[in-house]
Structures are given as structure tokens and as C-alpha cells.
Amino acid sequence: MGNLDWRRLGFIALIILVLIGVVVMVGGGEVPPSVIVMSMVATTIAVATPLTLGALSGIYCERAGVVNIGIEGMMLASAFFGWFAAICFNTILGMSAMPSLIIGVVAAILTGGLLGLLHAVLSVTYKVDQIIGGTVINILAIGITGFLNRQLFFEKGSIFGGQVPHAPGVLPRLHTPLLAGSPIASIFEQQPIAISAVVLVLITHFVLFYTRWGLRTRAVGEHPRAADTVGINVARMRYANVIIGGFMAGLGGAYFTLESVPSFEPLMTNGRGFIALAAVIFGNWAPFGAWASALVFGAAQALQINLQFFREQIPAQWAFLQQAYIVGLVPYLLTMVILTGIIGKTTPPAADGVPYEK
């Protein structure tokens, strides 16, 4: 599990089990508990997708010594431009839905990569304070997406005549014939970006801890001067990793408009980028740890989604669970609890956030 200790892993498992148990207790009389558990696990994996990809973005950046609080903005901008690209190819150029969606995903990834490049230029070349650089990206993304969304789709003189065109839909769920009819089929029958997130966790773990690239990345994040002394180009490694982190955030952004819902809303990322940063910290800057942490936040969201089906079965003493805004607070409350450090201290890379001067 990388640097994820057993105490933290136990806390993660406990929280997920408690959240699943709440739904089972509420809906167990209406639906078999096994079905509820499978539904909760499948939903948890799905809704944790942008958190997982955002956390991987943070890991690539911070393992190389660059703090990235601009993940939120990267995901928001990628969600908009990926959706916009899919609509353009589908509506204006007449391309069918699936190729349009794939192009949209590529556009989202490239958008994230470009913003990653911007963050690298600010942080590595011009040595701007990395917190300020990330904040600039967040503000830029909010401003650009809000402005373009309004001008392109709600102004009568726009290319779409003041109407939001019909979107090409969302990426389809992939079915596994070998598991057809199995109780666990719903867990594995996920959409492409959700599956990609899990695969990328495995790839990132291997790259960081079992390849020369990963060794060099960790070296420039821990002891950049020592890395420079043995011939590692610190600036190049930081640039590359921040851009890769941008690609990850871009794919996470694509989830919102191309896999979750076929539409864009201003600020629709809703703080997921910041929660992803909390997952990075709680996961101790390790891919498996960050993914496990993302699953905790995903389970909190899955609680809200699954409780909607059992609103009438919620007992009077648990009436507060009928209030969507109360249940919706759970992921953010967990974020605050985790960042207090009461579950154990974490140790960031030694040179994280420190510009390198030759």
C-alpha cells in the first residue's frame, strides 16, 4: 500500500463499512442487503472517479516537488472544453455520438495538460509562489468557463442561437459477459473513465516505485540539489510531472460532462479538486493510499445517492437523513476531520512547494 499505514487503512475501512451499513439498515427491509451492498460499492467506485484522478494529479505534481491546488480549476476547465468539443463535433460537424465523446475526452485531457503547463511555467520557470499559481488557475477556470458558457449558449447572437444544443450523451457502461447475472456484476460494469482511474492507480504505483522515472521524480521532490548533482534535470522532471498531473486532472474533468451527466453547469466540480488534495494528504502521497481515501469520500457521496431510493423507509429517529443537504455535508466533514491529523500525521516530500535554485 505504499506509505499507507494500517491505522489509516483501518479508519478508511471502518468509515466505508459504517456508510454502507447505514443504507443497509434503512433499506434492508425493502431490498436484499446483498443488493444494497453491491449497489453502494459500485456507486462508490463510480463517484470516486474524479477524486481518484484528481488525487493522482496531485501525486505526480507533489512527488516532483510542486504543490498544485489548481486541480479544481483544471477539472472545471476540462469539463467545459471536453463537453464543448463533443457538442461541436456532434452538432456542427454531424459526427456520431461515440466518436464525438472520444474527441471530447481527448480535448478535456489536453485542456488539463495545457493548464498543467501553465502551472509549471509559473512555478518552475518563474518561481511564482505555488499556492498563488494554483489559485490563479482556479480563478482563470471559473472566469473562462462561466463567461464562455454564457456567451456561447445563452446569448441570442451566439453560434448556437441562444440555446444549448443536444449533447451526444455520456460514455456507455462496459458490460462483462463472464459476470452476466452475477451479484457482483454491477461492481465491474463501470464506464470507461471510472475503469481508467483504477488502471491509472496501478500504473502510477508501478511507475513511481519500480521505474527509473519514478526514482528520478521522487529524487527531485525530496532532494533536488542531490538529484541535480548526479545529472538529473530538475526543471525538466518537474515540468513533465506537472503536465502529466494536468492530464490526470483533465481526464477527471471529462468525467463530469462526458460520463456523469451530458451537460455543463458553472462550478459543477463543486470542490472535488480540493477534496482530491485531502485524499493525497491522507493517502500519504501514495497512489493506493490516495485511491483508498478517495473511496471514503466516494462512499459518502454514494450514501446520499442510495438513500434517495429509501426516503420513505427512513425511521423517525433518523429523519435527518431525509435532508439532502445534511447528508451532502458528509464528504466535506470527512475532509475536515482527515486534515486535522487525528488519524495520524503524514509526511510530504521534503522539497514539496520549494522552488529549486541552482
Rg from Cα positions in the chain: 21
Helix axes 287-307, 6-27, angle to 10 degrees: 10
Query: At 3, which amino acid appears?
Result: N
Q: Write out the three cell numbers for 65.
A: 516537488
Please state the domain extents for the chain: 6-24+31-166+191-339
Is the separation of the CB atoms in 141 and 115 below 8 Å? yes
Could you tell me which of 125, 3, 8, 23 has the C-alpha nearest to residue 330? Answer: 23
Distance separating alpha carbons of residues 235 and 104, to the nearest angstrom:
31
Whose CA is closest to 77, among 140, 148, 147, 141? 141
d(CA 350, CA 218): 10
Residue whose C-alpha cell reads 463501470 in the numeric block: 190
Q: What is the pLDDT of residue 247?
A: 98
Confidence at residue 186, expressed as pLDDT on a 0 to 100 scale:
82
2-61 tens-digit pLDDT: 455 777 788 888 889 999 999 998 888 788 898 899 999 999 999 999 999 999 999 999
pTM of the model: 0.94
Decide if 112 contacts 253 (C-beta within 8 A). Answer: yes
pLDDT digits (tens, 9 = 90+) for 127-144: 999 999 999 999 999 999
pLDDT in tens, 302-314: 988 888 887 777 7
CATH class of the structural domain 6-24+31-166+191-339: mainly alpha
Residue 143's pLDDT is 97
Of residues 325 and 240, which shows the higher confidence score?
240
Q: Is the pLDDT of residue 277 over 50?
A: yes
What pLDDT is recorded for position 1?
A: 47
* Residue predicted with more confidence, 319 or 137: 137
Backbone angles phi, psi at 354, to 5 degrees: -105, 115
**Looking at the predicted structure, is the pLDDT value of residue 342 above 70?**
no
Alpha helix (H) residue ranges in the chain: 6-27, 33-47, 49-63, 71-87, 97-120, 130-153, 185-188, 192-210, 212-222, 224-229, 234-254, 272-282, 287-307, 324-328, 330-339
Q: What is the pLDDT of residue 330?
A: 80
